[in-house]
């Protein structure tokens, strides 16, 4: 059991600090881990302004260090979304930080509204795999809202990032960690910045991967910029341009051809399916395909096939027919956070691109009726950081591109170090290799000065993902040139 020596101190803290009820961790088995881990929970007031009122349990898992010389500063991993369960994606976190786990505990806290912590799930939305039908999404969101508000913890104004980071600090106290390291991915970077703002004295070091600024709204037009870069990159590459000429113009023609009824083979079930392909569904599928370089490479082929009425490659590439997995979003929590923080105070842009039209329109309509918690003005600020912060960005990331990481790094001040890979997508540490080694050396550095001097030479700029071409059939292997897969019939 981790930190037995701190049990008495934690109990004293629970008496001194209102709203903190300590429950010792217990050995447990959870599906995300092959080995036995430690499970715990802290009881927290649903509304921090009324600590005597209704309580919720905030659950967490600790993967304890087994080293006799273990270090006292645990690593807390903050999930994305908003709406992901940290415990559900903890298997990836343990794999990525297994070397650090030798001497440091890894801690995964299900943020309130996710996983095992007063979950706010909307199966109507989560099981659909796609939110492109705004009218249906709005109807499903309203249904879910009514059901969630009937829950004992259904005051949806109490699920903001600010309150959730107070929960996180309660876990830190319950486990007896004096200082912790934060690793945030995507929305988890905004959560990490908010924890750093509220509890700077409790932070040792921070990694932010795919940075979401608190003081700027993430423009949906970032996705359009990523798609435009794909088109221009293809036009400049002889191989891609020969196979898929005039991609930008053909994209516009494809949009203009919709809606239409299409027939295809379900990529997961293998049966024939009918699909009403709308402009919004097309845009949504392309948006999903922009996140990773591997799917981005297949997008020129998928779009040119779609132009011929063959939508199966794009459907498979986007994953819209996949079953929800461990990284799925609890949409009740997602809207409770996003409507209060992203679509309440910060200005909504009037960009005319397809992604902004679809996504901003959907959020605007859902957030008009979704309860919004109070967000302190300080949440939208980025104070100078007293500790070292490493920020990571991908230049072709459709949601958190380099400019956001550069902005936050400048605001954090001289202790921030920003690394960007121009042709990388969303979530650099998921790509492994150099960046995981870099994260290991950064978090293992004995002090901030040493952390600032770590060798980053392994971070090299990489070429743009090469467009995928269908394999040439053996009968054509000796032909002078393969047929153009992007040619119209």
pLDDT in tens, the chain (489 residues): 343 333 333 333 333 344 444 447 999 998 878 889 999 999 999 999 999 999 999 999 999 998 999 999 999 999 999 999 999 988 888 888 999 999 999 999 999 999 999 999 999 888 765 667 888 889 999 999 999 999 999 999 999 999 999 999 999 999 999 999 999 999 999 999 999 999 999 999 999 999 999 998 888 999 999 999 999 999 999 999 999 999 999 999 999 999 999 988 877 778 888 889 999 999 999 999 999 888 999 999 999 999 999 999 999 998 877 766 656 899 999 999 999 999 887 665 556 899 999 998 899 999 999 999 999 999 999 999 999 999 999 999 999 999 999 999 999 999 999 999 988 889 888 776 788 899 999 999 999 999 999 999 888 877 778 888 888 666 655 544 444 565 554
Q: What angle do CA 206, 461, 229 make, to 5 degrees?
A: 100
- Burial status of residue 224 (CB atoms within 10 A of its CB: 0-12, 13-18, 19 or more): buried
Cβ neighbours of residue 33 under 8 Å, at least 6 residues apart?
Answer: 61, 63, 90, 91, 94
pLDDT at 348: 58
Tell me which long-range contacts 360-363 makes (C-beta under 8 A, separation of at least 24): 360/220, 361/134, 362/131, 362/134, 362/137, 362/138, 363/338, 363/339
Asked if 320 and 288 touch (Cβ cutoff 8 Å), the reply is yes
Give the predicted TM-score (pTM) of the model.
0.90
Tell me whether the omega of the peptide bond preceding residue 259 falls within 30 degrees of 0, making it cis. Answer: yes
pLDDT at 328: 85
Per-domain residue ranges of the chain: 4-122+157-213+378-452, 221-323+466-476
- Cα dist from 363 to 138, 256, 331, 335, 403, whole Å: 9, 24, 12, 8, 23
Q: What angle do CA 78, 84, 85 make, to 5 degrees?
A: 75
Asked if 63 and 106 touch (Cβ cutoff 8 Å), the reply is yes
368: left (phi over 0), alpha (psi -120 to 50) or beta: alpha
Asked if 485 and 298 touch (Cβ cutoff 8 Å), the reply is no
Using CA atoms, how far apart are residues 60 and 38, in angstroms rounded to an integer? 9
pLDDT at 326: 57
pLDDT at 481: 45
What is the radius of gyration, based on Cα positions, of the chain?
A: 24
| Fold topology of 4-122+157-213+378-452 | Rossmann fold (3.40.50)
pLDDT at 12: 37
CB atoms within 10 A of CB 482: 15
* Strands 106-109 and 75-78, sheet pairing: parallel
Closest listed residue to residue 444, CA positions, set 157, 205, 116:
205
pLDDT at 473: 67
CB atoms within 10 A of CB 262: 17
CB atoms within 10 A of CB 461: 10
pLDDT at 423: 85
Helix, strand or coil, per DSSP, at residue 385: coil
Beta bridge partners of 264: 273
Q: How far is CA 435 from the centre of its chain?
A: 18
Helix, strand or coil, per DSSP, at residue 172: helix
Q: Given CA atoms 177, 183, 187, 192 in this order, what sign does their dihedral have?
A: positive
């Amino acid at each position: 059991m981790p930190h037995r020596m701190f049990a008495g101190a934690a109990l004293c803290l629970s008496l001194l600090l209102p709203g903190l009820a300590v429950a010792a961790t217990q050995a447990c088995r959870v599906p995300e881990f092959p080995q036995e881990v430690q499970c715990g929970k802290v009881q927290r007031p649903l509304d921090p302004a009324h600590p005597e009122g209704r309580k919720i349990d905030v659950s967490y898992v600790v993967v304890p260090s087994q080293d006799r010389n273990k270090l006292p500063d645990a690593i807390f991993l903050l999930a994305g979304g908003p709406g992901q369960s940290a415990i559900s994606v903890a298997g990836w976190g343990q794999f990525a930080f297994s070397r650090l786990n030798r001497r440091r505990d890894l801690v995964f806290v299900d943020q309130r509204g996710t996983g095992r912590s007063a979950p706010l799930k909307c199966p109507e939305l989560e099981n659909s795999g796609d939110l492109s039908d705004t009218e249906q999404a709005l109807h499903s969101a309203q249904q879910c809202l009514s059901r969630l508000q009937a829950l004992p913890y259904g005051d949806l104004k109490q699920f903001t990032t600010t309150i959730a980071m107070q929960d996180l600090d309660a876990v830190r106290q319950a486990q007896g960690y004096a200082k912790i390291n934060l690793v945030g991915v995507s929305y988890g970077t905004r959560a990490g910045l908010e924890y750093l703002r509220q509890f700077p004295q409790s932070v040792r070091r921070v990694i932010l991967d795919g940075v979401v600024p608190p003081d700027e709204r993430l423009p949906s037009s970032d996705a359009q910029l990523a798609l435009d870069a794909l088109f221009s990159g293809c036009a400049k590459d002889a191989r891609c341009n020969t196979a898929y000429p005039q991609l930008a113009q053909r994209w516009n023609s494809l949009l203009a051809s919709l809606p239409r009824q299409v027939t295809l083979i379900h990529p997961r079930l293998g049966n024939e399916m009918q699909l009403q392909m709308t402009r919004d569904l097309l845009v949504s599928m392309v948006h999903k395909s922009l996140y990773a370089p591997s799917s981005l490479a297949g997008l020129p082929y998928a779009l040119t096939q779609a132009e011929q009425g063959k939508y199966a490659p794009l459907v498979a590439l986007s994953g819209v027919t996949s079953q929800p997995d461990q990284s799925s979003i609890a949409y009740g929590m997602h809207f409770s956070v996003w409507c209060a923080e992203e679509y309440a105070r910060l200005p909504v842009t009037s960009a005319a691109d397809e992604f902004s039209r679809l996504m901003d329109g959907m959020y605007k309509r859902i957030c008009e009726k979704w309860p919004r918690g109070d967000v302190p003005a300080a949440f939208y600020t980025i104070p100078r950081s007293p500790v070292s912060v490493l920020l990571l960005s991908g230049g072709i990331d459709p949601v958190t591109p380099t400019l956001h990481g550069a902005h936050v790094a400048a605001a954090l001040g001289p202790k921030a170090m920003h690394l960007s890979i121009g042709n990388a997508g969303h979530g650099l540490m998921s790509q492994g290799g150099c960046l995981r080694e870099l994260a290991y050396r950064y978090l293992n550095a004995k002090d901030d000065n040493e952390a600032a001097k770590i060798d980053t030479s392994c971070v090299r700029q990489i070429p743009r993902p090469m467009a995928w071409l269908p394999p040439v059939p053996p009968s054509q292997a000796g032909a002078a040139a393969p047929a153009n897969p992007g040619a119209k019939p």
